[in-house]
Amino acid sequence: MDGILSELQALNIGKVKSNELLSQHTTIKIGGPADLFIEPSSVENLKKVMDVIRQNNIQWRAIGRGSNLLVSDKGIEGAVIKLGSGIDNLEINGAEITVGGGYSLVSLSTFISKKGLSGLEFASGIPGSVGGAVYMNAGAHGSDISKILTKAHVLFADGTMEWLSNQEMEFSYRTSVLQKKRPGIVIEAVFRLEEGDRTAIVSQMQKNKDYRKETQPWNYPCAGSIFRNPLPNYAGKLIEIAGLKGFSIGGAKISEMHGNFIVNAGNATAGDVLALIQYVKDTIYNLYEIKMETEVEIIGRK
């Protein structure tokens, strides 16, 4: 990897590091080293990165702000590409906005609400990037990205760039076409919002933020919701009824505030979290014969 590291650094495409600990880039503060860690400073430089990755047949993975991720203690083979500054443009055209994949979703929803645009209130407490939110169809409070996205500009591994319509994104519950069928990086998204009463929109945003503070453990490092809701049931409620809130393995603990959150209560490892996830799965299945599926993405070396 040293030769590829030198090649990328010579291109002056942004930050390039080797063996960067992913615990510094995930909201749960867990994760071993990435062989290569790259933060491109622009879309053009991101394309250059992908060219080098393709030419050298390197495995790669894109991340945004590191939420909804559990990275192996052994780290990630290949390259990790983080989208942030330089890929965080924002353009407002009436009720339509175009925003870069590296833009913070929380910051976007706050800024847009003050402009009197409605549609992003649900995102006021989702600590991810726009690109990550589109990738996983992030949602809360009865809404999600699929309700507002018009199209997404995606860079694919072969170097091609394509605008995918809402329909082509094949959205479903916390899922899009990019997760399995067509892996790619969301570099830009176009959202169709609605003009509304600024005071009412800001008020609803604040209510959503307050609700999250009251019900979710954001004072601890965590990855967000661990399990998908096995509808018509809710994961957090099932875990609570099973008496598992507060249960811990190593440094990983099921939140006492919300059953569907596992927090890093102190030097937790990915192994601790995985063991706790399996314990919950086994317990819920034994009690209710319900199979729990993870919403958090589990990535990295086995």
Residues annotated catalytic, as ranges:
174, 225, 295
The strands making up 76-82's β-sheet, listed across from edge to edge, are 14-21, 33-40, 76-82, 60-63
Is the Cβ–Cβ distance between 245 and 236 less than 8 Å? no
Q: List the one residue out of 79, 176, 192 whose CA is nearest residue 132.
A: 176
Residues 6+ apart with CB under 8 A from 216: 125, 255, 257, 258, 261
Q: Point out which residues pair with 188 in neighbouring strands.
A: 100, 153
Q: In the 3-class helix/strand/coil scheme, how is 172-223 assigned residue by residue?
A: ECCECHHHCCCCEEEEEEEEECEECCHHHHHHHHHHHHHHHHHHCCCCCCEE
Q: Report how far residue 104's alpha carbon sits from residue 144's, in angstroms, rounded to the nearest whole number.
A: 16
Separation in Å, CA 198 to CA 107, 115, 195, 249, 289: 16, 7, 9, 46, 46
Q: Point out which residues pair with 48 in neighbouring strands.
A: none
Residue 231 burial (CB count, 10 A): 8
DSSP state, 23?
G
Residue 243 burial (CB count, 10 A): 11
